[in-house]
A and B are shown apart, each in its own frame.
Chain A
Amino acid sequence: MSRFSLFWRYIRRNWTLGAGLGILVFLFLFTVIGLFFVDSKVDPYPLAAPAGVPPTLAYCPPVEPDCEDPKAYPFGTDGQGRNMLAVAVTGTWMTLQIGLLAGLIGIAAGSFLGFTSAFYGGLYDAVVRWMVDVLLTIPGLLILVVIASSIGGRSITVTGMALIIALISWRGPARVIRAQVLSMRERPYVLMARLNGMSGLDIVFRELLPNLLPYLGAALVGAVTAAIFASMGLAALGLGPLREPTLGVTIYWVINQSAFLRGLWWWGAVPITVVALVFIMLFMISIGLDELANPRVRRSE
């Protein structure tokens, strides 16, 4: 049987993973195709379009109601003149960028710490364990608020925000990977490998790492979710890249400029819908991966 049809059979059984990946594909296509229709340097920024236009496909300025060349604003424009379709297209990509960058750095640092501390043990392990436990109790958002307000003030860039979030995104993966390696370390196959004379590094790469991959995958999805959560929280408080049209900053403007009270519901509806889709997608992928990694949860065909 071809790989492709095996893949489809699995997706039919694990439909949450399928739904999550489907949303991912949809968002990807939306972003890529959308870039053909908007000018990403101009349209998502203020004063690109008349302000406060509700979603419409044929807009004429009020001074000449029967203009020859009506513009199309499928998602409308916001109170500062941004084209909301452009914001949706560019902002999604920026937000996902922040999430991926911070999540990947977090996974790399976190798994390194978790791995080495579980593998080598001793004082190093005790210190890392206490550090992760204490740092996990303090809400990440608060640490980020302290860091971001001190360092960035008002001029944080998209990459800068990702790096700041990476400073705390390693906490969760470190704990998860450490717990996993701890339980794997005493398994019979590891002891066998040691008795066979495999070097430490060999054991790590040939025995432990392949069995860790499902957990790494789940931890990656979790880290990306947490990073996007954190970036939106920071942005809503006003500590985001205020000049860029990321989804979190758009919500900041919605709150700040009382969009809903002015009746500009589409200004808020666009980022809320996209963010809801992103989180639902991550949620479903994580449930799907859980089924993949944890044989006890699997259902039969």
Chain B
Amino acid sequence: MRAYSWNFVLKRFGLLVLIVWTAVTINFIIPKLTPRNPLREKLMEQASRSGYIEQGFDEMVAAYEAKFGLDQPLWIQYVRYLGDIMRLDLGVSIANFPKTVMELVGAALPWTIGLLTTATLIAFTLGTILGALMAWPKSSNFVKYILPSFLILGAIPAYLIALILIYFVAFQWKLLPLGGGFGISTIPNLSLPFMLEVMKHSLLPALAIVLTSMGGWVIGMRGMMVTVQGEDYMTFGEAKGLTDNRLFFRYGMRNAILPQVTGLALAFSFLVSGSVLVELIFQYPGVGTLLARAISQLDYFMIYGIVLIIVVCIAIAMFIMDMIYPLLDPRIGSGGGG
């Protein structure tokens, strides 16, 4: 039996389209607002490196512009741009010519998605359980009063924690690798030793992300559990004589977890921003390092392409979360709106 109404699904899908379209348009408009001409700059850079400016420099710039379609009126460029995006053609990387943006991002994206989903799932689970325990009056004092002081770590940006972790765990105590996705002399293959090595290398980045994002979940869950505990059905359950375990899990947590899941969807953008920088610090072969390198080389097409792909991924993830939510709370999603 379908739990969804068409209204709900369409509205959410409309939001998805709107988000992607806004990102695409921002990507298009902002470069046009500046007086810079990336092609001219790149050619200038290479000309200055070789020591002289060739003749016909202006003709070269004009030829490149014609090739990339930059000499057409603005709205034609916009339509062409939209068409290219639909066909998943995000252009070529200026610095790594002739590799396309899609190629490079496609190689890096699985690493980022793997790291992010694992770290987020761990942080969410640990944080939610911890938050629920903190609000439960029958938990030990350690959980209720001492543990919260470690949550202050959540206020500090993830990449600073990553720097501290690198220095102590990887450099001083040499427990875990310094960075990268796998060892320098390892060739990627689909074997168990390789998988273990990948996991060893992703332990520190994941730890940095988990330590910083856990605080938010804990505080949220604790607030929700406090509210839920005041509800009538909790008193009823206790009066019925249900065991503490059953009360805690089936009555308390199950209801308190619903806003947490919404919070998860909303937190995607923060998580992505944070993990981009964490990846950079660990030189993890994900999208973050790619973006940092593109920025340092001022590889404009790469920058715009990466940003676009990240936004699309976030929008898709949010859409999936929105579809999952009615499964948890049947009141949402059926009966229109949402």
Contact = CB atoms under 8 A, between A and B. Distances in A.
Contact of A138 (B36, B280, B311): B311
Interface stretch (B20-28, B139-147, B231-239): B20-28
A2 interface: no
B111 interface: no
A233 B163 CA distance: 14
A130 B18 contact: yes
A232 B31 CA distance: 23
Interface string B302-317: 0110010011001100
Contact of B269 (A140, A150, A255, A282): A140
Contacts of B277: 233, 236-237
A146 B26 contact: yes
Contacts of A135: 22
A191 B157 CA distance: 44
Interface string A112-133: 0000000000000000001001
Given A137-B318, A272-B160, A280 B292 contact: no
Contacts, number: 117
Contacts of A149: 295, 298, 300, 303
B166 to A, nearest CB: 6
Interface stretch (A35-43, A90-98, A194-202, A260-268): A260-268
A145 to B, nearest CB: 6
A135 B26 CA distance: 11
B191 interface: no
Contacts of A29: none
Interface string A256-285: 000011000100100010011001101100
A139 B310 contact: yes
B68 interface: no
Q: Would you list the 6 A-B pairs with minimal beta carbon distance, nearest first? A: A283-B155, A141-B273, A139-B269, A279-B155, A139-B273, A142-B307
Given A150-B34, A260-B167, 19 more contacts: A133-B15, A138-B19, A139-B272, A142-B273, A143-B26, A143-B307, A145-B291, A146-B30, A146-B303, A150-B31, A150-B36, A151-B34, A233-B273, A236-B277, A237-B280, A255-B281, A261-B178, A279-B156, A283-B155
